[in-house]
Amino acid sequence: MNETVYKERRDRLLEIMDEGVAVLSTATMQTRSNDTEYPFRPSSDFYYLTGFEEDNSVVVLCKKGDERKTILFVQEKVPEMELWTGERLGVDAAQECFSFDEVYGIDSFEEQIKALLKEQTLLYFDLFNNNKIYTQLKVIANTMLHTRGVNRSPRTFSDITKLTQQMRLIKSEEEVSLIREALVITQKAHHHAMTTCQVGMMEYQLQAEYEYTFKREGAYSDAYTTIIAGGNNANTLHYIKNDQALKEGELVLVDAGCEYGFYASDITRTYPVNGTFTAVQKELYNMILGVQLKVIEAIKPGGSKKELQAFSEKLLTEGMVSLGILEGEVEMLLEEKAHKKYYPHGIGHWMGLDVHDPCPYSDDNGDENLFAEGMVLTIEPGLYLPKDDEKIPEKYRGIGIRIEDDVLITKEGCENLSQGIAKTVEEIESICKS
């Protein structure tokens, strides 16, 4: 995205925040084992406001009366360090490339922030993050509070993520374009994997086909650890061991999405290992697919996730009664939450820079945030029927099915951004056999 987009976001944050200083640090490098580290990814809020991808960096926004100032702190260029870890942009180049009022080396952060906090009583930062920068801020604020000659200093801490995550709730056209590109790649990955899946393949081998396609097509990485759950493994919602063989006559549930430009996709498809649904599998699958299609059709501005949840639970319960999985009156079963045993999760979640975007679902009064144009969420009904559950018909035991798409709220309704990814029985069987 163009640097102007990030500057506009900073300006907007300055407008909605109260007078004070806001500090956002990027993520820190995470140790994988001993002296090796995971690939670095900037924290989402920091990247949302800066577009800056390097570690060891901080953004500061200052607001005092009519005055506004934005400052970026970056790792200075150190040739000895760059020999090992790669070239850095440095202070001068960052000043040229990014629209900040001032850019400094990160080593000067403590000195600079002390000067900026003088005569300010409100300090914004991520209150629930143990990042060393935020710990340092608390120490500095406490020291200033007890320092002679300092007349005013931060006495109030406020959570900056409350503002940034509210901003992130509505996606811009540029953000939606990146999600669309992530889904183009994810579609290729799912379709490619369907053609390679076969009896006897290990779950991790099918996982490799997805991740190979993500990288081949230019995705930054997978957006989360891919779930490849054959047979009864699908009844473990976050199954990531992926170490079992795929068996004849079973389904495989695959939850896989990539990240492009730091924006996520999140797609689940369930398909037959041998390429052909059995009559029983088809019956159950089509019921769940019908629920998903009806839920998506109901999405529009002014609606709510709570309404979709209740709608999906009602439809799935009706379906389970019709198939003999549950017995009784639908309304009574819903009241007793009998369906929760087989449909324990929500209908979906916000998605964006994070696959589970931490945007708010309700406002300060506890009222639910209603759907509005530009929001993106997943829709993912599913049923999970353990093989050892003797209360359900034997023919359904050991089957787990989830169908998940990524949906954009539009002016008058919604758009299924992932509608091109095969999900009808006919589409899936055709691709599996191609």
Q: Catalogue the active-site residues.
A: 35, 238, 255, 266, 345, 349, 356, 380, 384, 402, 404
Residue with tokens 């140790």: 31
Residues 6+ apart with CB under 8 A from 181: 260, 261
DSSP symbols for 246-303:
--TT-EEEEEE-EEETTEE--EEEEEETTS---HHHHHHHHHHHHHHHHHHHT--TT-
What is the distance in angstroms between the CA of the first residue and the CA of the last residue of the chain? 37
Residues 6+ apart with CB under 8 A from 434: 195
User: Would you tell me how many other CB atoms lie within 10 Å of the CB of residue 276?
Assistant: 15
Question: Cα–Cα distance between 54 and 33 in angstroms, integer?
Answer: 21
DSSP symbols for 25-58:
E-----EEETTEEPPP---HHHHHHH----SS-E
DSSP annotation of 140 reads: H
Residues 6+ apart with CB under 8 A from 412: 300, 301
Q: Are strands 67-74 and 102-105 parallel, antiparallel or unpaired?
A: parallel
Phi, psi of 227 (to 5 degrees): -100, 120
* Inter-residue contact 263 to 182 (CB < 8 Å): yes
Structure tokens at 271: 């398909």
Residues 6+ apart with CB under 8 A from 317: 326, 330, 333, 334, 338, 339
**DSSP 3-state helix, strand, coil percentages of the chain (rounded to 5)?**
40, 20, 40
* Inter-residue contact 405 to 414 (CB < 8 Å): no
Residue with tokens 């006495």: 155
Q: Are strands 122-125 and 156-159 parallel, antiparallel or unpaired?
A: parallel
Residues 6+ apart with CB under 8 A from 221: 39, 41, 214, 258, 259
- Helices (runs of H) and strands (runs of E) counted in the chain: 13, 19
